[in-house]
Structures are given as structure tokens and as C-alpha cells.
């Protein structure tokens, strides 16, 4: 006799649930931390990636901050308006726009990032360093595998009967 469709032992579904919960719990730290600086999480993400990687095409920034392209445009617009980020056309590929920090943008992220990093270190500090290593390995494999499998299902997409 089974009690419901999700048995307590349905390991994959449990993994999905705890993954979502863990992400939610940790990302709340990020939101709290970043909100103090008067930035949105996505805005911070753009500044951070440009700070650490230097000038980058919009599309590469987009992949790293994990939002859709139209949202990236929106966030970059705001950052340009605030004078923190600069756009310039790529000389090698006329489709792409390169993004980089302005002096003001660099000043802000330099001041803000260390404190944010400290906050995030504390957020995940419930795991020992050894367990953090283990978690990184498992999550990397999980994420890469899921991304691969997701590309593979793009071909299907049959709709069910209404």
C-alpha cells in the first residue's frame, strides 16, 4: 500500500526539494547583504562579474548572472543610467556590445564586495570546509548534468490533451 505519489523514499524528488530550500536560505543572505548597498541582486551580479573578469560582452554577463537576455538589457540600462557601467560596440563582432565598469562603478564594487563576500562565507558556514568541498563537487556534477539534460529535451515539447 502506498500512501501518496511521493513516497518518503523518493530520493530524487527529495533532492530537488532540499536543493530549492538550501538555495532559498542562502540567497536570502545575498539579498539582505546587497540590499544594504542600495543595489538589486542582479545589478550586483553585473558589477561583480565585470569587476572580476574585466570587460565582457553582454551575452557572457548574461550567462553568469542567470537571467534572460531581456532582463540583462534592463539591468544594464539602469547601471548605465547610474553611471556605473559603460557600453561600447565590439570592434571584432558588430553584433556584440562590450560592458565594463566606470570609475564610479569600480569604486562601489570595491567598497562593497569584501563585505558581501564575508556575509556569504558566513551564510554557508554551517558546513565544515571538508563538507563544503564535498558539496561543491556534488553540486557541480548535478548542475552540469541537469543543464546537459535540459538541452536534450528541447526537441520534444509535446503538449498533453486538454
- Tell me how crowded residue 69 is: count the other CB atoms within 10 A of its CB: 11
Site for DNA contains 55 (CB under 7 A)? no
Site for its own copies contains 15 (CB under 8 A)? yes
Count H helices and E strands in the chain, helices first.
Answer: 6, 3
Burial pattern 90-127, b for ≥16 Cβ within 10 A else e, equals eeeeeeebbbebbeebeebbeebbeebeeeeeebeeee
Among 19, 29, 30, 67, binds DNA (CB under 7 A): 67
Closer by beta carbon to DNA, 40 or else 51: 40
Among 62, 79, 109, 116, binds DNA (CB under 7 A): 62
Of 81-110, binders to its own copies (CB under 8 A) are none
Interface contacts to DNA, rule CB under 7 A? 31, 35, 40-43, 57-60, 62, 67-78, 87, 90, 93-98
Amino acid at each position: 500500500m502506498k500512501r501518496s505519489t511521493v513516497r518518503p523514499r523518493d530520493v530524487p524528488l527529495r533532492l530537488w526539494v532540499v536543493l530549492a530550500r538550501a538555495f532559498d536560505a542562502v540567497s536570502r543572505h545575498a539579498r539582505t547583504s546587497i540590499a544594504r548597498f542600495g543595489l538589486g541582486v542582479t545589478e550586483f551580479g553585473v558589477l561583480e562579474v565585470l569587476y572580476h573578469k574585466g570587460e565582457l560582452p553582454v551575452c557572457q554577463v548574461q550567462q553568469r548572472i542567470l537571467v534572460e537576455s531581456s532582463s540583462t538589457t534592463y539591468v544594464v540600462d539602469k547601471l548605465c543610467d547610474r553611471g556605473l557601467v559603460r557600453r561600447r560596440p565590439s570592434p571584432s563582432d558588430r553584433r556584440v556590445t562590450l560592458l565594463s565598469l566606470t570609475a564610479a562603478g569600480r569604486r562601489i564594487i570595491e567598497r562593497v564586495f569584501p563585505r558581501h563576500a564575508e556575509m556569504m562565507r558566513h551564510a554557508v558556514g554551517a558546513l565544515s570546509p571538508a563538507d563544503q568541498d564535498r558539496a561543491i563537487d556534488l553540486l557541480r556534477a548535478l548542475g552540469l548534468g541537469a543543464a546537459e539534460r535540459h538541452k536534450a529535451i528541447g526537441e520534444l515539447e509535446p503538449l498533453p490533451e486538454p
